[in-house]
């Protein structure tokens, strides 16, 4: 059997998301004694209301800030190499045929209510995710091309999975998305009722901080979990302030009301030059886009989608909105993805004449006011964007101008973030939107994109109708030869581009800033962004 080793499980994993804290503040507290590090409260920002605290049901940016402090997975990524290492799992073995994986779990882990964590929780979580009544966001990750992966408890601290067929992204596709939930609480609730249960508003997990209070419109408060298995956390609390407006958040960051946040491209150089905050800049998996409601006209017409893509001046957006901290994208895969192929991208250059030609071929003709029409219906629609996010508004104004030149009327409309999330993640009923400013940060394995673009996945919110896409996703996940996988995913990039499933626009760098009073033990900087394998603390003034 092959054996995989993991990093010491005694290390405290407080942050894995580069969208929140991004590096040690180096504020002079690195030599503080251990005793002086204890106490104080860290204040961060979330950009919208909480839709749910259930990791089964949401994976948005708000959950992305909450998750590293309260929730832990079985594995995590090493910040230097990008390889998967253990978190709640201490290691794993693989059978010679690659179909059986046996995982060992940490001992002494407790849920926030004091109940012991064990293999029963892991198996229970996987089976919940496989249950269609739960409607789990990553439910499809617990199966391979529709065939369920088998999960078995061996003993309290060991479980085994059996694959129905070879599967390349076992860790990236299945185990990394298996975030344990408490069996002793949720087994008492019917699977279909979990999404509306009390647990989704007063959650119990295993992380270093436990949920304390949520006050709508104001904050989410977490407090230290003294029985945390990795050692007593330094901080007393972590407060997540709800600040939808980016400019208000910037003021809060610069005046010390919050300790860390992402920052807009327009502010990054100024903050870096001023030196009052510690600034960081990293490449990202993120691909930002405009997604269309593919069940609604005119977006059902591939020529319309292709024409709209030709009307987006991507370079102007990268230069003026992102100040050069972003690169044009024509694919859902950023250059950091495994098997990314620049040559496979179908590049829709900014070309108004080409767009007009495609729209004419789709049957649209200019109306009396210059807006294109077809069968008496004008080519006009709304584009939703996150309220308080000036960058998105500026982006859409550039897109609006380009579309107007071809006779397309697009109207930007701001909406509160939690409402946007609910709109796009609605399952089993029509989604009520035309176009929406969205993005994703998946990776590193391209198979992770299936939950967005593969029509065979129930949760996919903008699936391609091109049968090649479903076929290539199915082939890519079971192919284990890296060279063959590379060819498959190049074909997938091309198929998605030709179908113009989404209007991909740019790949941004991650830009963030920390208050200099924030420090970390054992901070590691790496290709995959700064991740903290240590405890966070505040320098005492």
pLDDT at 14: 29
Residue 182 domain-assigned?
yes
Instruction: Assess whether 302 and 154 both reside in one domain.
Output: no
Domain boundary among 200, 227, 257: 200
The reply to whether 31 falls in a domain is no
Residue 141 in any domain: the answer is yes
Q: Give residue 78's region: left, alpha or beta (phi > 0; psi -120 to 50).
A: beta
Residue 38 and residue 375: Cα distance in Å, rounded? 69
Domain extent for 112: 2-21+52-200
* Same domain? 57 vs 169: yes
pLDDT over 90 at 448, yes or no: no
Is 143 a domain residue? yes
Residues 195 and 298 in one domain: no
Q: Is 149 within the bounds of a domain? A: yes
Q: Could you read off the pLDDT of 461-516 as tens digits, one per residue? A: 788 989 999 999 999 989 989 999 999 999 999 999 999 999 999 999 999 999 99
Task: Grade residue 430 by pLDDT with cuts at 50, 70 and 90.
Answer: low
Q: What is the pLDDT of residues 217-272, one digit of tens each?
A: 999 999 999 999 988 888 999 999 999 998 999 999 999 999 999 999 999 999 99
Cβ atoms of residues 46 and 57 within 8 Å: no
Whole-number pLDDT of residue 476: 92
Mean pLDDT along residues 382-404: 94
At residue 33, what are phi and psi to the nearest 5 degrees?
Answer: -70, 160
CATH value at residue 424: 3.10.105.10
Report the DSSP pairing between strands 237-242 and 41-46.
parallel
Question: Tell me, what's the pLDDT at 140?
Answer: 87
Whether residues 177 and 306 share a domain: the answer is no
% of the chain residues with pLDDT over 70: 88
The residues that bridge with 537 in the sheet, in sequence order, are 519
CATH code of residue 191: 3.90.76.10
Distances (CA, A) of 372 to 62, 366, 377: 39, 4, 8
Q: Is 186 found in the same domain as 328?
A: no
Is residue 242 within 8 A of residue 49, CB to CB? The reply is yes
CB neighbours of residue 184 within 10 Å = 15
pLDDT per position as a tens digit, 82-141: 678 899 999 999 999 999 999 999 999 999 999 999 999 999 999 999 999 998 988 989
pLDDT at 522: 56
Q: Are 158 and 90 in contact (CB under 8 A)?
A: no
56 located within any domain: yes
Q: Are residues 320 and 172 in the same domain?
A: no
> Would you say residue 525 has pLDDT above 80?
no
Alpha-carbon span 277 to 254, nearest angstrom: 8
Quote the number of domains for the chain: 2
200, 221, 252 - which closes a domain: 200
DSSP string, 172-227: IIIGGG-----HHHHTTS-GGGGGGSGGGTS----SSEEEEEEETTTEEEEEE-TT
Q: Is 35 within a domain?
A: no
Q: How confident is the model at residue 35, as a pLDDT?
A: 62
- Residue range 287-312: mean pLDDT, rounded: 96
What is the structure's pLDDT at 80?
Answer: 65
Q: Note whether 187 and 325 are same-domain residues.
A: no
pLDDT mean across residues, the chain: 87
Q: Among 183, 200, 217, give the residue marking a domain's end.
A: 200
């Amino acid at each position: 059997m092959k054996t995989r080793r993991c990093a010491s499980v005694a290390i405290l994993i407080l942050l894995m998301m580069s969208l929140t804290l991004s590096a040690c503040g180096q504020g002079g507290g690195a030599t503080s004694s251990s005793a002086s590090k204890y106490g104080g409260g860290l204040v961060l920002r979330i950009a919208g209301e909480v839709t749910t605290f259930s990791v089964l049901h949401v994976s948005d940016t708000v959950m992305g800030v909450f998750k590293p402090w309260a929730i832990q997975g079985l594995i995590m990524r090493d910040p230097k190499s990008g390889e998967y290492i253990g978190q709640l799992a201490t290691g794993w073995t693989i059978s010679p045929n690659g179909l059986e994986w046996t995982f060992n779990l940490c001992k002494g882990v407790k849920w926030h209510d004091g109940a012991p964590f064990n293999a029963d929780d892991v198996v229970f979580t996987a089976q919940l995710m496989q249950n269609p009544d739960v409607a789990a966001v990553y439910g499809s990750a617990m199966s391979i091309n529709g065939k369920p992966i088998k999960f078995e408890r061996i003993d309290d601290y060991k479980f085994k999975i059996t694959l129905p067929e070879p599967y390349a992204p076992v860790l990236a596709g299945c185990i990394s998305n298996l975030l344990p939930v408490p069996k002793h609480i949720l087994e008492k609730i019917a699977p279909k009722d979990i999404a509306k249960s009390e647990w989704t508003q007063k959650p119990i997990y295993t992380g270093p901080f436990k949920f304390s209070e949520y006050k709508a419109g104001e904050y989410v408060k977490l407090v230290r979990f003294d029985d945390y298995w990795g050692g007593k956390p330094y901080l007393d609390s972590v407060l997540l302030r709800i600040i939808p407006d980016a400019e208000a958040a910037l003021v809060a960051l610069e005046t010390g009301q919050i300790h860390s946040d992402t920052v807009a491209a327009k502010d990054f150089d100024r903050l870096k030059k001023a030196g009052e905050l510690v600034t960081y800049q990293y490449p990202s998996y993120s691909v930002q886009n405009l997604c269309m409601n593919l069940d609604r006209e005119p977006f059902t017409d591939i020529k319309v989608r292709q024409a709209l893509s030709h009307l987006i001046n991507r370079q102007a957006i990268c230069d003026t909105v992102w100040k050069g901290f972003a690169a044009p994208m024509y694919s859902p895969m950023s250059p950091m993805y495994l098997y990314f192929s620049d040559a496979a991208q179908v590049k829709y250059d900014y070309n108004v004449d080409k767009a007009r030609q495609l729209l004419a071929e789709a049957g649209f003709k200019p109306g009396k006011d210059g807006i294109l029409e077809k069968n008496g219906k004008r080519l006009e629609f709304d584009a939703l964007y996150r309220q308080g996010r000036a960058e998105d508004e500026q982006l859409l104004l550039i897109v609006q101008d380009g579309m107007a030149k071809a006779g397309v009327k697009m109207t930007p409309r701001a909406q509160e973030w939690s409402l946007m999330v609910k709109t796009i993640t609605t399952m089993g009923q029509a989604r009520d939107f035309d176009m929406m400013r969205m993005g994703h940060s998946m990776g590193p394995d391209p198979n992770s994109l299936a939950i967005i673009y593969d029509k065979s996945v129930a949760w996919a919110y903008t699936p391609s109708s091109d049968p090649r896409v479903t076929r290539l996703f199915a082939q890519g996940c079971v192919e284990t030869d890296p060279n063959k996988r590379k060819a498959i995913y190049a074909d997938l990039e091309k198929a998605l581009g030709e179908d113009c499933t989404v209007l991909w626009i740019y790949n941004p760098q991650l830009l963030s800033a920390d208050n200099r009073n924030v420090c970390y033990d054992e901070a590691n900087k790496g290709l995959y962004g700064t991740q903290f394998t240590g405890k966070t603390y505040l320098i005492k003034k």
